[in-house]
Amino acid sequence: MRITNAYCIVTSPGRNFVTLKIVTDEGVYGIGDATLNGRELAVASYLNDHVIPCLIGRDPQRIEDIWQYLYKGAYWRRGPVTMSAIAAVDTALWDIKAKVAGLPLYQLLGGKSRDGVMVYAHANGRDIEEALDRVDYYREKGFKAIRVQTGVPGLDKVYGVQKGEAYEPAIRSAAPDETLWATEPYLDHAPRLFEAVRDRFGWDLHLLHDVHHRLTPIEAARLGRSLEPFRLFWMEDPTPAENQEAFRLIRQHTTTPIAVGEVFNSIHDCRELIQNQLIDYIRATVVHAGGITHLRRIAGLAELYQVRTGCHGATDLSPVCMGAALHFDTWVPNFGVQEYMIHSAETDAVFPHAYSYADGALHPGEAPGHGVDIDEELAAKYPYTPAYLPVARLRDGTMWNW
Ligand SMILES: O=C(O)[C@@H](O)[C@@H](O)[C@H](O)[C@H](O)CO
Ligand SMILES: [Mg+2]
């Protein structure tokens, strides 16, 4: 079996996505997600200019060898652009292998470890009342786990809050939107939010919260402690994680479980966090962490330390990534939860998929491969449009973490 053709499809059905398609001499093809929010064309160029020419003629069944070839062969290791490109190739190759076998991908990974993949929804509101309404909305839809975010008094726009059905932080424009951040009102407000959620909905729901890297370690420690009475499932990205040791400080002060990893792209980004048991959930996912092949390695390390998975699943991770992630989630022994930010109808139409939602869980479906396809004709109707995540500054103008 040989790879005869490979190409990137860049499309924008509501938001930008990059998809790699690998075609073989036997007519079987596979697809992989290569979307890196706000830096989409960098990955497309990395694939088109540097990876695809090296793939033509190779045996697509040699997934591990191709992974090692792209990782070691670039000489320049790791990094989001490289690892997203490798992930796209890896995902497409697993798709091909499973299609050749005539099996859903989870069967090749080791079969089902569970009947469904518990997912969490993202409920948000400009204030506590609005957020409570959204929690109720997702509860009615059967979600067992809900992440709750609100506006912060005195701040105009903050991460995670937007009017309307789906949350979509990337804004179509030539440069990022500028927003304002202040830590003190947030630290006061967050416990009030969770007190209100528990008062209204009781203790049956798993509640999550995304700090989105906006606190220093000691501030995160204070937040974790103030949220303890409301028994969160997790506090996400409490502080930037380039310095893994920083999490020790948070850990020393609070029993609120900690989740991190949506911006990680390799096992080395979380090795100390896992080995020192500084976190409870690792949130790396297929597209940004080197594909199924590398994510399996991260999960294997995490399993040794009782750290569970919680794959990132925002709207910028395409349905192709979601499909692959659901096969991984169905198999992985140390599964925790899967994020599920619902894609727009336009996105779903471009990416027909076998996965489905029922009663708080997603199911990958039984289609051979990862079960997600791309309608190229429809995709061509949505040309790429530059879009960026916002940036944040403190009140005095200092650049902060969004
Ligand atoms: O947990 C999450 O879903 C977030 O942190 C994302 O919305 C994140 O901001 C985006 O995926 C960035 O591309
Ligand atoms: Mg997050």
Q: Which of 208, 191, 211 is nearest to 402 (CA)?
A: 211
Ligand 1: atom nearest CA of 38 is 13
| pLDDT in the model for residue 166 | 73
Confidence tier at 139 by pLDDT (50, 70, 90) = very high
The pTM of this model reads 0.97
Residue 163 has pLDDT above 80, yes or no: no
| 139: Cβ contacts below 8 Å, ≥ 6 apart | 146, 201, 205
Ligand 1: atom nearest CA of 314 is 3
The residue type found at 130 is E
User: Averaged over 325-335, what is the pLDDT?
Assistant: 98
| pLDDT in the model for residue 372 | 98
Protein residue with least CA distance to atom 4, ligand 1: 314
CA dihedral 163, 239, 175, 181 (to 10 degrees): 60
Instruction: Give distance in angstroms: CA of 300 to centre of ligand 2.
Output: 22
Instruction: Give distance in angstroms: CA of 358 to centre of ligand 2.
Output: 23
Residue 64 has pLDDT above 70, yes or no: yes
Q: What digits encode the pLDDT tens for the residues 339-390?
A: 999 999 999 999 999 999 999 999 999 999 999 999 999 999 999 999 999 9
The residue type found at 316 is D
| pLDDT in the model for residue 164 | 67
ipTM of the complex model: 0.98
Helix/strand/coil (H/E/C) assignment for every residue in 60-72 = CCCHHHHHHHHHH
Active site residue ranges: 159, 212
- State the average pLDDT for the chain: 97
| pLDDT in the model for residue 165 | 66
Q: Please tell me the distance from the alpha carbon of residue 346 to that of residue 377, in angstroms, as a whole number.
A: 13
Confidence tier at 167 by pLDDT (50, 70, 90) = confident
Q: What digits encode the pLDDT tens for the residues 226-276?
A: 999 999 999 999 999 999 999 999 999 999 999 999 999 999 999 999 999
Higher pLDDT, 309 or 168: 309
Instruction: Give distance in angstroms: CA of 212 to centre of ligand 2.
Output: 6
Instruction: Give distance in angstroms: CA of 255 to centre of ligand 2.
Output: 20
Q: Which of 169, 174, 170 is nearest to 386 (CA)?
A: 174
Q: Is the CB of residue 205 less than 8 Å from the CB of residue 379? A: no
Protein residue with least CA distance to atom 2, ligand 1: 314
User: Averaged over 153-172, what is the pLDDT?
Assistant: 85
Protein residue with least CA distance to atom 8, ligand 1: 314
Which of 33, 177, 283, 312 maximizes ligand 1 atoms within 8 Å of its Cβ, making it the mutation to test the pocket? 312
